[in-house]
Amino acid sequence: MSQSAAVRPDPTVFRKAAIVRGAAVDHAGQVRTRPLPGFDLDRTIFKTLQSPLARFVMTRRLALDVLWTEAAERSVQSAYVASAGAHPLPPISEPLLAFLLERCDFDVEHADGSFLDHLYFCFEYSVRHYPQRSALVMFLHSILGTGTNTFAMPAAQIDALRGLVTEFEFQQIEAFPSVLRLLYTDLLDRLDAEAGRLPQLASVDMHRVIDDAPISLPAEQLWIALNYQLMHLVDFLPVADWSRNANDTNLILFRRLHAFLVRHGRLEAQVALSPAQGAAEAPAPSAAHWLIARVPESVSWSMAQKSVARFSAAIGHTLRYELRWG
């Protein structure tokens, strides 16, 4: 099997802007949105959402066609092309590509394009903006489970996967879905409360999402994992008008995690926060969007926490974790 068997997709303008700038960007003033006809939530990674309210909110947030101003799109494209040569993507090994194409199933859409589009975005962003760590982790971050209980491979293939990556990469890959769910618990609050003795943190024990097996991350690996999580969240943020999307749960989590890493001097990856560059678009909202925008952030966050707990309970995954001190 050749490398060309998995053609690397051309990123969207939104993704190119994030890659070029190494930042989460509010593009208010540079885009406008309109309803996307024919959108089907059941073709995305959110197909497993059960709550009618959750499905309603997610559909309203995803079923948008983003239209860029000509000047903004031209500027992003020019910057991306100019910088691409300085940041070549490393090849993915032939055996690993064969494993992904022959033993895994990525036949599901992401919030914006295919799931492989999302994986390649995470991979490219990591190559450019977290070069001191393996970008392969970001390419494989969801192979052992997404936050909505979709799985690209069965647990029976775990040993085969382990043989295709380094031990560091495997440890990060197997922990990624678990760490993502723990970010919706009190993990960051507990670490904040123990700020004075964080240098003595030895490890965090948790359970692997795909099979509930007990796993552990050494403290230094946890900080790296949180940087991977922050880069991953960039791809889920609203494209624009963050002030009117303040209760978006991905935006809430992104801001919490970004502030946490900065506060503790542990932001290693280049992930800046870039405010809007122009006036926010203010179309006449539909009744549905008007109602969604008025859900308090605290209520939105509580709903997200309960949703994560339900997803874990549905597959017998344990959300309990333990901080171990040296």
**Residue 1 pLDDT:** 31
**Residue 85 pLDDT:** 83
Please state, in angstroms and rounded to a whole number, the distance separating the CA atoms of residues 130 and 168: 15
Range of the domain at 79: 11-325
Assign 110 to helix, strand or coil. Answer: coil
Please state, in angstroms and rounded to a whole number, the distance separating the CA atoms of residues 245 and 268: 27
- In a domain? residue 219: yes
The per-residue DSSP string of 203-215 comes to EEEEE-TTT--EE
- In a domain? residue 227: yes
- In a domain? residue 173: yes
Number of domains in the chain: 1
**Residue 295 pLDDT:** 79
**Residue 284 pLDDT:** 47
**Residue 2 pLDDT:** 34
Tell me which H or E stretch contains 189.
helix 187-193
Cα end-to-end distance, the chain, whole Å: 47
- In a domain? residue 202: yes
CA dihedral defined by 106, 111, 114, 117, rounded to 10 degrees? -100
Number of CB atoms found within 10 A of residue 129's CB: 22
Please state, in angstroms and rounded to a whole number, the distance separating the CA atoms of residues 172 and 228: 9
- In a domain? residue 1: no
- In a domain? residue 4: no
**Residue 110 pLDDT:** 47
Q: What is the pTM of this model?
A: 0.89
**Residue 116 pLDDT:** 83
CA Rg, the chain, in Å?
A: 19
Cα angle for residues 112, 116, 117 (degrees, 5° grid) = 40
- In a domain? residue 6: no
pLDDT means over runs of 10, the chain (326 residues)? 54 96 94 73 66 64 78 96 88 92 71 75 97 97 93 95 98 98 98 97 98 98 98 95 90 97 98 73 53 78 94 97 97
Please state, in angstroms and rounded to a whole number, the distance separating the CA atoms of residues 106 and 210: 16
- In a domain? residue 300: yes
